[in-house]
Amino acid sequence: MASGEQPWLALDHSRTPSVIAAGALVGAAISLGYAAMPAIIVAAVPQRESGIANGINSISRSTGRAIGSAAITTVLASKSVGHLPAGSPALPAESQFTLSFVLAGAAFALIAPVAWFGLRHIQVAQHHAAEAAADRREAGAKGSLLFPVPAL
């Protein structure tokens, strides 16, 4: 999720345009994350392990969705609106929605640095791997021209 939706919804969820705009931003952020993650994974692991790594990503997403859904459902169900007509189903109190938005914002705040440092680590590792490959190619080219290695 993008960083601004949860506080925005926690503070201004009574107006329809705010809820729609925040939902659109959340949808866009999730779409971008789901689209980018397989490419990041493939770039970060050896080619022979890319299938396993993407499988772990898929399992992690499914597990995260299940845990997140269960946690938010528990929060919403923990306090219901009082004074409903007889026979009406229980409805979550507004405070529980606000708490859900705050919890989502806190989860983002906790995971954002982990994602940032993880992506940074991948970029640094790729840079070092590219430099090492270039050094090997350069050394191989020099060695083959200047010092032929006899076959064993």
Decide: pTM greater than 0.75.
no
Which tens digit of pLDDT belongs to each residue from 24-69? 888 888 888 888 888 888 888 888 888 999 999 999 999 999 999 9
Which tens digit of pLDDT belongs to each residue from 82-124? 888 888 888 899 899 889 888 888 888 888 888 777 777 666 6
CA distance 43 to 129: 11
Which tokens belong to 1?
A: 């999720």
Complete DSSP assignment for 60-113: HHHHHHHHHHHHHHHHHHTSB-SSPPTTPPP-B-HHHHHHHHHHHHHHHHHHHH
Using left for φ > 0, alpha for ψ between -120 and 50, and beta otherwise, residue 87 falls in: left
How many of the other CB atoms lie within 10 Å of CB of 65? 10
